[in-house]
A and B are shown apart, each in its own frame.
Chain A
Amino acid sequence: MNHDIYDDDYIRGILDSMKTIAMVGASPVNVRPSYFAFKYLAQRGYDMIPVNPGQVGKSLIGKPFVASLDDIDRAVDMIDIFRNSEAALPLVEQALKMTPRPKVIWMQLGVRNDDACALAENAGLKVVMNRCPKIEYGRLSSEISWMGVNSRTLSSKRAPVPTQGMRLSLHRVSVGGGDTAAADRAARLKDDKNNRS
């Protein structure tokens, strides 16, 4: 499938059906994007597991760190990769050995590894690359609209007042695909540049 653009339905389906997420590369430093995303997803009701070998023995907002995917004691629906793109391939290999297997490999904003993606997809997993689950959840629920961000969704329904720990409805009408035409252009420009160099 095309990993430059995702349909909102694809992202919505993943975020709606996932319950347990292992975040590889979760940082305890509270200005790192992984910390933001970890905390936000935990507050939206996901069972979050921080994976970071350098932090074992400590916890992230009350969730104990584990050293690797092998050390997780329960079924994981999704692996969120907050590492560099090269690290994605061995992580997918490791994920495919887990029992039961995770259903989704999610690579963070700026992380893309097409070989790792192909390996996971051939094994029947869904893959998202170069996206942030916090941003996508905020966008599809329109919670991100507080920041003047274009959620690219519409709704004429009254939404509940969001409270701590509440899962939000992601079922608004999508305006377009998984990305704006403008952002696609940025991706293309980057590709052009890579092809030239």
Chain B
Amino acid sequence: MTDRTPGFATLAIHAGAQPDPTTGARTTPIYQTTSFVFNDADHAASLFGLQAFGNIYTRLGNPTTAVLEERVAALEGGTAAVATASGHAAQVTALHQLLRPGDEFIAARKLYGGSINQFTHAFKSFGWNVVWADPDDIASFERAVTPRTKAIYVESIANPSGSITDIAAIAAVARDAGVPLIVDNTLASPYLIRPIDHGADIVLHSLTKFIGGHGNSIGGVIVDAGTFDWSRDNKYPILSEPRPEYHGIKLQETFGNFAFAIACRVLGLRDLGAALSPFNAFLFLTGVETLPLRMQRHCDNALAVAEWLAAHPAVNEVNYAGLPGNRYNELARKYAPKGAGALFTFTLKGGYEAGVNLVSNLKLFSHLANIGDTRSLVIHPASTTHSQLTDEQKIQAGAGPDLVRLSIGLEDKEDLIADLDQALRG
């Protein structure tokens, strides 16, 4: 048998899944159960002691969810993955393995507004201090590094601005600082960008968006690249030192290049508790099978709509990295040659009021706070997702008051353009 590397579409359908051993069911069944019986006392002890592979309790792992985890790990080129109840849960679960009170992490200023909130406010009560840097100025990351820095955090394609991050350049900063680079790859999906190929050590997703693709479930995932040596300089004792609750197991020593994923599971899910529901895992599995088809169509539609808007007299500026002349077009061609994603923003000559009118006049685009749905979506970030930020933070996050964000869906592009046309005419 020759070892042939299957393509992305094959992995999107097959990785992690095989016919159910008991029933032969070809689609992954929904194991909607809290717990799993042990064969005997020794089997139970082996599972609790992390000595055997198997299922204990759905907060720690579930057979339906495990298929999704392996699927995403395969698509991202990682060694293992852990699914969580939401993208936010993925962030707190991942960082909880790395930071202790008083520690710092450097994050790109251009992030999803909900992440900025979580990092700024919720993490403060853990004693985790976020230090902001500008993803368009790599030196700002170098300047932010201190002896307390434990991680660097960026989005591959930033929300809501749609700007493309120079992952390899920031990975070099992380490597020099001896800290892992964490990339939120939600907006690109592994179909467009695989951050691990460019030097990321941990990849996170809100599964809610393109991987699920249908706007029906909330979920997140943490992918371990298997690239970081956690034991090198004692900066990450959770991974390098004996764990008292597991009778002295050292996670990296025992689990090698998937130790971080194991930590997120046996410490993170166990103690923080943000496990994904098996039913949602099933919906994500159904969605991810068509990820490559959907993502290409999202990109093709987005480019067509962006080109049309750029030529419209009521439009001031279209910020889509897929358009020639955009400041991120070169990075888009390097990192995301198949397309610059489904998301972009534009400003209207009529300012704030014209934006509000446009949103209310649209008939096909849905006005809501999500992205990555089959349906085309529109939102005014300044009054919704980014409303809790200060005006200065809004502008730094690429969510100025005159800006409208579109998440282009899978409809016929002619219908999307017609809807925008009638809405702009008012």
CA distance A32 to B73 in the complex (A): 27
Given contacts A147-B61, A171-B1, contact A31 B246 (CB under 8 A): yes
Q: Is B237 an interface residue (CB 8 A)?
A: no
Looking at the complex, which one of B4, B51, B227 makes contact with A182 (CB distance below 8 Å)? Answer: B227
**Contact in complex: B61, A146 (CB < 8 Å):** yes
Q: In this assembly, does A56 line the interface, its C-beta being within 8 Å of a C-beta of chain B?
A: no
Tell me the B residues contacting A by CB distance below 8 Å.
1, 3-6, 10-11, 14-16, 18-22, 24, 39, 43, 46, 49-55, 61, 63, 65-67, 69-70, 73-74, 77-83, 175, 196-197, 225-229, 246-249, 253-258, 261-262, 265
Q: Determine if A180 and B21 form an interchain contact, defined as CB atoms under 8 angstroms apart.
A: no
Contact A180 B228 (CB under 8 A): no
A183 near B79: Cβ-Cβ < 8 Å: yes
Contact B1 A9 (CB under 8 A): yes
A101 at the interface (CB under 8 A from B): no
Beta-carbon contact of A186 and B77 below 8 Å: no
- With most chain B CB atoms within 10 A of its CB, the pick from A154, A157, A174 is A154
Check B18–A180 contact: CB distance below 8 A.
no
B79–A161 touching, CB < 8 Å: no
B3 and A177 contacting across the interface, CB-CB below 8 Å = yes
Report A's interface with B, CB cutoff 8 A: 7-9, 30-31, 33, 35-36, 39-40, 43, 109-110, 132, 135, 138, 142-152, 154-162, 164, 171, 173-177, 180-183, 185-186, 189-190
Contacts of A173 in B (CB 8 A): 1, 4, 6
Task: Flag if A148 contacts B80 (CB, 8 Å).
Answer: yes
- A-side contacts of B77, CB under 8 Å: 180-182
Q: Complex formed: what's the CA distance from A173 to B249 in Å?
A: 33
8 Å CB contact of B6 from A30, A31, A175 = A175
- Whether B70 pairs with A149 at a CB distance below 8 angstroms is yes
Write 25 A-B pairs (CB below 8 A) sorted by A numbering. Answer: A7-B3, A8-B3, A9-B3, A36-B51, A109-B256, A110-B253, A110-B256, A135-B255, A135-B256, A147-B66, A147-B265, A149-B80, A150-B15, A150-B73, A152-B74, A158-B20, A158-B24, A159-B18, A159-B21, A173-B4, A175-B15, A181-B196, A182-B257, A183-B227, A186-B257
Tell me whether A143 and B73 are in contact in the complex, defined as CB-CB below 8 angstroms, given that A150-B80, A186-B228 are known contacts.
no
Query: When chains A and B are docked, how far (Å) is the Cα of A158 from the Cα of B25?
Result: 9
Residues of B contacting A142 in the complex (Cβ-Cβ under 8 angstroms): 18
Q: Report B-chain residues with C-beta under 8 Å of the C-beta of A8.
A: 3
Contact indicator B18/A148 (Cβ below 8 Å)? no
Q: Which of B3, B11, B63, B254 lies in contact with A36, CB distance below 8 A?
A: B254
Partner of B70, one of A31, A145, A177: A145
